[in-house]
Structure 1
Amino acid sequence: MLAAALALWGSAAPSDGGGEIVFTNYADGMVVRHVAPLVRGTLGDRSLAQVTFTNESSNRPSRSVVGPARDGRFVVLCELVPGENRLILQAGQKRRTLRLVYHPQTNPRFIRVAYLTDRTGATDFQTPLADDPQDYRGKLDTAMKLMQTFTAERMRDLGFGRVTFNLELDDQGRVVVHTLRGPLSADEYHRMDGDELWEHAHGLLKEVRPRLESRWLVIPAFTRWDPKTRKALAHTALGGGDLALFGGGDLFAWPDRLSDVHRAFANERRVDPALFFSDSVGRHTFWAVASTTMGAALHEIGHTLDLPHSRDPFGIMTRGHDYFNRVFTLIEPPHAGRPTPYAFADDEVARWSPPSAGWLAAHRFLAMDTRQWKDGGGLQARCDRGKNAIVIDAPNGLAAIVFCAGGHAQQLVAAPECKTRPTEMAVGLDRLVDVRAKDPRLRLIDAQGLSVTVDLDVAVGRRFVRKWNLARTTSPWVRHDAFPAVDAGRLEAIVASARAGAMHEAQSGLVDLLAVMPPVTREDTAAYAVRVIRCDRPRTLTLRTGSDDAIRVWLNGKVVMAELALRPAQVDQDKAEIELTPGENVLVVECCQAGGGWGFYLRLEDEKGRPLALGDDGRLTPVADR
């Protein structure tokens, strides 16, 4: 898929005249759903260093934009007005007309932006420019449009079409910038850490949050670089839930309007990191600061759209945001660590990596138009051991499957086209790039934008004890503030009852007692599961459990864990050390049920924290690589 994207990046569309100017990514009369298309093309005159793009249908400040040209290629932004736009590209003595029709999105879900001040309401940001106009509204308007354009163009490059998020625009086409006045002084904000700032800003948003669903980018005005401590005060980069918070310490480098974008990304002026915040990975130039920080703000917005980090070095959800500028340029200027310009390759440009793009394409925030969404539909997955596969049931149609490990999106497993979205799909475990990695998961999203995450460790169950002898004997559990009475004689009877029956194998890491217990014993009841562990020597292990509801565990007749709780089961809710003796060790689990779900997780770790498998013969072995 990435190779196809790179091919699209440089491919040429058929020309309809105009001499030596060819538009390669837009065709005449095309309908556009975002306000600032990025137009690419080729020129017959390879000596030209710039082109001018003028929207004759507009009277807005960015009516004319000058963009770079190099070696017969050009890239230039334009700002559209609703309806048909007549655009004239001037390249030397050559002119070429392009008509684009702008239909604004009707999606009621917006990415909104707010500027957060201290209690004085001061909107000034720190800057090395003596004559800085402090136009924070213009900078945030421009940045948001660039992020929208970046998303549209890079999604198109991956074959998903120019889907992108909606922006809140006024009747002049400007992004609405909400100004939030906080209740604290700048000094008080400077003493906050990133988490505290995020929580504080999130609370303030409750006062202005529209009834319709939104995601917010909030930029604090009071971020400051302290030359004495060489630290950025009130700076953070945190995104999640409905809030992306990013410090405003580098706004001075952001362009004020779309017509300044190409110039901003060519600005070689140095930033003195001893005096000002230079969030630029050591490049210390205006263009690099602008690239890293606008890209990083988009990275945090990505988190609000449920995107995890990526492994792609040029993906926005890793450090690809450092190369945000390259989408809008043809060559990169010098910086503090490189004295010469850099002609980057097509695959060295910031992008949404395929796992991120596949997810975004199905997200409700990128739906472009109003839709009647359906909530619910039973998106779920199960392990089919015979097929060595995860079988996904998606009644609404499956839109994307993303494999994650270690908290990072690593693989777009599938992204069926809209017309062929299946309601069931089997994904072989051997298709996944690194299922041996830590914390492997499948993230699923359906055609209604509903999603679930499948913990493969749990679904496959390799790290859990899944086989148990279940006792026919149960105990009433009417008083939920105490465990059932079980003395030594009753415990022996429970073990005997369990060992008399066949071994039950759970379908996942969760031993689902609702699936196996008789209907008459599904409320106010305690059930029992038994396993024998055989050892040749004394061993100290770690026992980890999770349960719905309460759980009590005996080892060789001694209680080693007891958690009296009414709760849903989660992996590793409880932990205890247990001592095994040579020979046969009897493990008994009591799982108490008040109502609703009923079951438990149990796994074992060796002395070094490595997971252990419990064989049918009762022997412990390290969990094998998948």
Structure 2
Amino acid sequence: MRELQNVRMKICIYNVDDGETVYNHLPLLVGDIENCTNDGFIEVVNSSDPDSKGLKWPVVEGAFKVLVKLKRGQNLIRLKYGEEILIFKLYRENPSFKHFVRPVYIICEDDDGYFQGPDGEDCSPQSALDRITLGAMLIQTFTAENLKEHGLGRYTFQIETNQLNDPMCHLFRSKLTLERAQSMSGGDLWNHFAKELMESDFDNKDMCKWYCFMSFTRYKPPEDVPYPKTHGEILKYTKGHTALGGGGLALFGTGNLHTWARYIHEIHSRFTDTRKIDRKILMDDSAYREFYWANYATGLGASLHELGHTFNLAHTPTGIMARGFDDFNKVFTVQRLKVRDQPMTKRSNSSSNKTSLPRNISSGPVDGSPFKRSHKSKMNKDICYGSPLRKVILFKLCNS
């Protein structure tokens, strides 16, 4: 392979360096196609992983954000846009922490473990395990990028892995019956599972933070009631739901798990899914935006918020530890310079022109390298949505 600095490349990367070592399984690559303002697709493949398949990600007005799964050790990453190709190395190592995050999917003793979702959606326990595992990888990636952006290094929490060194999610069968679980409050469920998990046969219980999802969340408004309009009304008709984090346990319902991506190639389409939730049938937990993508953004972002509480993080005026998690999708998707054909709330519309994902169509690479480092770069500013290039409150995501 020819040295990158000797080759002029049209594919430019902003947030990682050739040969860099990262500690997350699914790094985010932010970049653009120089001298290009067109839409299209860019393909990424990990040539070092025999199981890796080339995945196409959208290029929006010349800009892109892609995710690529890494194996431990050296990874040869190949990006292709038209005839242009960029090849570079990334190394992945596990964080050298004794403590780790343990994803768990909780099933009642007399239940089949299927979560609620629309017709045609795979809501099986295996589907849940896959979605939660991928969700854990995405919040791990966000944490790494956010800390790096704020000058603290690309560090992140460690996810429990299996024998193949891949992130995993456990299936845990509780001793609670379905009827009993759905009659309990969120606080009572948190207390019960905190005790039950610590008395379980899991190993290393004192070394983990539990990242848990309850399969038995059910939303069912009476047929004769008006269309639910407030979040309070929605919660009134929802059983087996909570979003609580503290101590060693972050606990969530699964009312919007059906909107989450199960596979990496689904991430972009799920984060841009403009179908609307039918509140007569399914739970809407999207900060009143109602779209599938908004339920995914709020649900996944809120899971990091609650996990943050287990890391002893308090609420903050802005960002993930406030309501910044509602915009979590914008970390992984490219927004157009001129917002069009995109559902937005009144609040997000008011700030979108100030913080929507910028572009940098420069005249050429900095120092001849495709890995740009100009602090004047607008794209560089948007690795994590709306964050300034200075040290700020940990986990700050956006000015909301």
TM-score interval, smaller chain: 0.7 to 0.9
User: Does the C-alpha gap of structure 1 residues 18 and 104 become closer, same or farther in structure 2, counting only changes over 3 Å?
Assistant: farther
Deviations 1:434-456 (A, max 9, x none): xxxxxxxxxxxxxxxxxxxxxxx
User: Does the C-alpha gap of structure 1 residues 133 and 329 become closer, same or farther in structure 2, counting only changes over 3 Å?
Assistant: same
1:349-388 equivalences in 2 (<5 Å) = 349=385, 354-356=392-394
Among 65, 86, 90, the residue aligned to 2:76: 86
| Consecutive unaligned residues in structure 1, runs of 5 or more | 1-13, 359-626
Q: 2: CA distance between counterparts of 1:180 and 1:114? A: 7
Q: 2: CA distance between counterparts of 1:189 and 1:167? A: 27
2:132 aligns to what?
Answer: 140
Among 120, 129, 132, the residue aligned to 1:130: 120
- Structure 1 position 129, deviation (Å): 3.5
Q: 2: CA distance between counterparts of 1:350 and 1:204? A: 40
8 Å Cα contact 2:27/2:141 also seen in 1: yes
1:169 alignment partner, SS class: coil
User: Does the C-alpha gap of structure 1 residues 68 and 15 become closer, same or farther in structure 2, counting only changes over 3 Å?
Assistant: farther
- Structure 1 position 38, deviation (Å): 0.2
Among 218, 239, 246, the residue aligned to 1:240: 246
Amino acid at match of 2:393: P
Matched, 1:215 2:215: no
Among 202, 221, 226, the residue aligned to 1:227: 221
User: Does the C-alpha gap of structure 1 residues 295 and 307 become closer, same or farther in structure 2, counting only changes over 3 Å?
Assistant: same
- Structure 1 position 63, deviation (Å): 3.6
8 Å Cα contact 2:219/2:283 also seen in 1: yes
| Consecutive unaligned residues in structure 2, runs of 5 or more | 223-232, 358-381
Amino acid at match of 1:24: Y
8 Å Cα contact 1:237/1:244 also seen in 2: yes
Q: 1: CA distance between counterparts of 2:392 and 2:119? A: 39
Deviations 1:182-230 (A, max 9, x none): 2222222111111101001101111145335111111000001112274
Q: 1: CA distance between counterparts of 2:344 and 2:220? A: 21
User: Does the C-alpha gap of structure 1 residues 133 and 92 become closer, same or farther in structure 2, counting only changes over 3 Å?
Assistant: farther
Deviations 1:12-39 (A, max 9, x none): xx96635211111111111111111100
Amino acid at match of 1:214: C
Select between 241-250 and 278-287 the one with higher mean Cα deviation.
278-287
1:64-79 equivalences in 2 (<5 Å) = 64-79=54-69
User: Does the C-alpha gap of structure 1 residues 235 and 15 become closer, same or farther in structure 2, counting only changes over 3 Å?
Assistant: farther
Amino acid at match of 2:392: P
Select between 345-354 and 38-47 the one with higher mean Cα deviation.
345-354
8 Å Cα contact 1:37/1:79 also seen in 2: yes
Q: 2: CA distance between counterparts of 1:133 and 1:122? A: 11
Q: 2: CA distance between counterparts of 1:350 and 1:192? A: 39
8 Å Cα contact 2:116/2:123 also seen in 1: no
2:29 aligns to what?
Answer: 39
2:16 aligns to what?
Answer: 26
- Structure 1 position 156, deviation (Å): 0.6
8 Å Cα contact 2:114/2:123 also seen in 1: no
Amino acid at match of 1:334: Q
1:473-488 equivalences in 2 (<5 Å) = none
Matched, 1:172 2:164: yes
Return the structure number with greater strand share.
1
Q: 2: CA distance between counterparts of 1:213 and 1:248? A: 25
Q: 1: CA distance between counterparts of 2:61 and 2:148? A: 24
* Count of matched residue positions in the alignment of Structure 1 and Structure 2: 341
Q: How well do the aligned residues superpose, as a CA RMSD in angstroms?
A: 2.5
Matched, 1:266 2:272: yes
Return the structure number with greater helix share.
2
2:71 alignment partner, SS class: coil
Q: 2: CA distance between counterparts of 1:291 and 1:130? A: 21
Select between 181-190 and 246-255 the one with higher mean Cα deviation.
181-190
Among 128, 131, 147, the residue aligned to 1:155: 147
8 Å Cα contact 1:242/1:304 also seen in 2: yes
Among 283, 288, 307, the residue aligned to 2:313: 307
1:274 alignment partner, SS class: coil
Q: 1: CA distance between counterparts of 2:255 and 2:152? A: 35
8 Å Cα contact 2:147/2:394 also seen in 1: no
Amino acid at match of 2:115: F
TM-score, L = length of structure 2: 0.79
User: Does the C-alpha gap of structure 1 residues 17 and 208 become closer, same or farther in structure 2, counting only changes over 3 Å?
Assistant: farther
Deviations 1:472-495 (A, max 9, x none): xxxxxxxxxxxxxxxxxxxxxxxx
Q: 2: CA distance between counterparts of 1:131 and 1:234? A: 20
- Structure 1 position 173, deviation (Å): 4.2
User: Does the C-alpha gap of structure 1 residues 278 and 335 become closer, same or farther in structure 2, counting only changes over 3 Å?
Assistant: farther
2:324 aligns to what?
Answer: 320
1:98 alignment partner, SS class: strand
Amino acid at match of 2:239: L
Q: Which has the larger radius of gyration?
A: 1
Amino acid at match of 2:321: M
8 Å Cα contact 1:86/1:98 also seen in 2: yes
- Structure 1 position 43, deviation (Å): 0.2
Q: 1: CA distance between counterparts of 2:386 and 2:186? A: 26
Among 187, 191, 194, the residue aligned to 2:179: 187
1:310 alignment partner, SS class: coil
Amino acid at match of 2:394: S
User: Does the C-alpha gap of structure 1 residues 191 and 50 become closer, same or farther in structure 2, counting only changes over 3 Å?
Assistant: same
Matched, 1:256 2:247: no
User: Does the C-alpha gap of structure 1 residues 141 and 59 become closer, same or farther in structure 2, counting only changes over 3 Å?
Assistant: farther
2:50 aligns to what?
Answer: 59
Amino acid at match of 2:221: P
- Structure 1 position 310, deviation (Å): 0.5
Identity %: 30
Among 305, 320, 345, the residue aligned to 2:356: 345
8 Å Cα contact 1:180/1:204 also seen in 2: no
8 Å Cα contact 1:65/1:259 also seen in 2: yes
Amino acid at match of 2:46: N
TM-score, L = length of structure 1: 0.51
- Structure 1 position 351, deviation (Å): 6.5
8 Å Cα contact 1:253/1:286 also seen in 2: yes
1:198 aligns to what?
Answer: 190
2:95 aligns to what?
Answer: 105
Q: 2: CA distance between counterparts of 1:56 and 1:21? A: 18
Q: 2: CA distance between counterparts of 1:89 and 1:117? A: 41
User: Does the C-alpha gap of structure 1 residues 233 and 320 become closer, same or farther in structure 2, counting only changes over 3 Å?
Assistant: same
1:289 aligns to what?
Answer: 295
Matched, 1:95 2:85: yes
Q: 2: CA distance between counterparts of 1:305 and 1:350? A: 23
- Structure 1 position 121, deviation (Å): 4.5
